A and B are shown apart, each in its own frame.
Chain A
Amino acid sequence: MILAAPITYFQAIVLGLLQGVSELFPISSLGHSVILPTLLGWDIHQNDDYFLSFLVATHLATAIVLFIFFWRDWVRILHGLGRSLRDRGIAPDDHDAKLGWLLVVATIPAGILGLLFEHQLRKVFASPEAAAILLMLNGAMLYGAELLRRRAPQTDTDDDVRIAKQVTYTRGFAVGAAQALALFPGFSRSGAAMGGGLIVGLSNKDAARFAFLLATPIIGAAALLKLPQLMGHQGDGVRGQALVGALCSAFTAYLAVRFLMRFFETNRLTPFAIYCAIAGGLSAIVIALQ
């Protein structure tokens, strides 16, 4: 049996930097991690055990950065969840509890679908050709969400209160289910969640905030679930690179979330839709010519 070559430290740095940005920008980290190695001629394949182990570390780093960035929000949300469980109900003015249960309800469909179908879908759609085409479709999805968005009156000054008032449990479930699109390499989890948020009436800023809060448990749980893989024999020869990649990923994830929270105060998903359409189209052409 011929063992695939492990990732070099240079590749780990490039892929780590890319992962941190593309996981939070609505442009599909999985799609980019499939397409970029092919375009650069790297002998790295999405379904190789060592690469999956590497991705576990970079995803875990991204989740930790998100958790730290929204630390104060998570403390309030967890207190709200605790209060509602104690009282066996959610007080009408307890927006932290409402937001907490919205996140739980929205996490269920993506979590269940991910647990059941992630492996099969990754095997079927992990080709760079498919990822490039799906990246174009991701662009269409982002643009479509901007066209279909509902404009609800924004009456509250607090971000979380606005989200808790605007999003019902049914809508939260639908936004969460939309995240499952990210099981296909090329579709973006944050893009699907942000698009869903716009359609249920959130502003770009609130949709991004809800998407990032929603991403934290999903990305973190998926990474923790596969952590034994990185610590086991599948991580042999790649742990150092994974650590370097994780640090790079954490760095760019922090910059990305800071940037995006400001960007979406006044901007829309449209630039990312255009990027995905162009990057996906060009990648498809280059890959076809290779």
Chain B
Amino acid sequence: MKSRSPALVVAAVVIGLLLIALGIVYWVEPAGSLPSFIPGHTAGSGHHHVKHGIAAFLLGVALLVFAWFQTGPNARGASAE
């Protein structure tokens, strides 16, 4: 893995955390209570979008792992070269 702008790392962390939060919202809130701009919102539905939650959570974790590697000594060394 080669290096990288701090902006990319910050974006990955922010989006990763947002996706993890979204995953938790999917697990906790029924489809009817989700904000209307979130995919899966269905007025009056009591169904929980568990799979949507898992997908969002795992994507969020993947972005945090990506950011973790980007700030590693190898990546920093590569960016300094």
CA distance A225 to B51 in the complex (A): 9
* A115 touching B51, Cβ below 8 Å: yes
Whether a CB of chain B sits under 8 angstroms from the CB of A116 is yes
In the assembled complex, A156 has its CB within 8 A of some CB on chain B: no
Contact with B along A84-101 (1 / 0, CB 8 A): 110111100000000000
Q: B58 to A88, Cβ gap below 8 A?
A: no
**Which interface class (under 10, 10 to 19, 20 to 34, 35 or more) fits B?**
10 to 19
- In the assembly, what is the distance between CA of A84 and CA of B71, in Å? 13
B69 near A116 with CB under 8 A, answer no
Please pick, from B52, B65, B72, the residue contacting A89 in the complex, using a CB distance under 8 A.
B72
Bound-state Cα–Cα, A115 to B53, Å: 10
Q: Which residues of B contact A116 (CB under 8 A)?
A: 51-52, 55
Complex contact B62–A108 (CB within 8 A): yes
- Docked pose: A90 CA to B69 CA in angstroms: 9
How far does the alpha carbon of A225 sit from the alpha carbon of B58 in the complex, in Å? 14
Q: Is the CB of A85 within 8 A of B68?
A: yes
A84–B74 alpha-carbon span in the complex (Å): 11
Chain A positions 233 through 271: 1 when the CB is less than 8 Å from some CB of chain B, otherwise 0? 000000000000000000000000000000000000000
Binding site for A on B (CB under 8 A): 1, 51-52, 54-55, 58-59, 62, 65, 68-69, 71-75
Q: Which 5 A-B residue pairs are closest in the complex by CB-CB distance?
A: A88-B72, A89-B74, A89-B72, A115-B51, A115-B55
